[in-house]
Amino acid sequence: MRILGITVPNEKRLEIGLTAIYGIGISSARKILDQVNIDHGKKAKDLTLEEENSIRSIVEKILIEGNLKREIAANIKRLKDIKSFRGIRHMKRLPVRGQRTKTNSRTVRGNVRRTMASGKRKESKT
C-alpha cells in the first residue's frame, strides 16, 4: 500500500506500518484506524480497496513528510531571526530544551573538552 508516495510495509500491523510516514507516530496511527473502524492488528496486505482509500483520505488531511519538515525548519528559522534564547541555542548547536551541558550533549558538541592533566613531564630520579 502506498500513501502519498510512501510505501507502508505489507507484513507489519497497520498501526506500526503507518509510522513509516514521517509525521505519523503510533498514537496518531491508532487514531486514524479508529476513525475508519479498522482493526489495529490488521496487515496492510489484507486491506480492501475502500479501506485503503479511507485511510489515504484521512492521512492527506494531516501535515506530513516534506510540508511538516518545511514548517519545522521555518519555526526554527523564526526563532533564530528574532534571536530568542531557543534560537540562539539552535545557532550554537547546543541543547535547546534545558538539558545540562557540563557532562552530556557529547554528540552535539563533539569531544571538545579533554581531561585536565599537567603540561609538565615528571622528571625521573636516576
DSSP 13-61: BHHHHGGGSTT--HHHHHHHHHHTT--TT-BGGG--HHHHHHHHHHHHH
For CATH 1.10.8.50, the residue range(s) in the chain are 2-62
pLDDT value, residue 54: 92
What DSSP string describes 6-22? EEPPSSSBHHHHGGGST
CATH class, range 2-62: mainly alpha
Instruction: Say if pTM beats, i.e. exceeds, 0.95.
Output: no
Q: What is the pLDDT along the chain (126 residues), one digit of tens a residue?
A: 888 788 888 889 999 999 999 999 999 999 999 999 999 888 888 888 998 899 999 998 989 888 999 999 999 999 999 999 999 999 998 988 888 888 888 777 776 656 666 666 666 666
Torsion angle defined by CA atoms of residues 39, 59, 29 and 7, in that order, rounded to the nearest 10 degrees: 90
pLDDT value, residue 102: 84
pLDDT value, residue 24: 92
pLDDT value, residue 84: 95
End-to-end CA distance of the chain: 79
Q: What is the CA radius of gyration of the chain?
A: 24
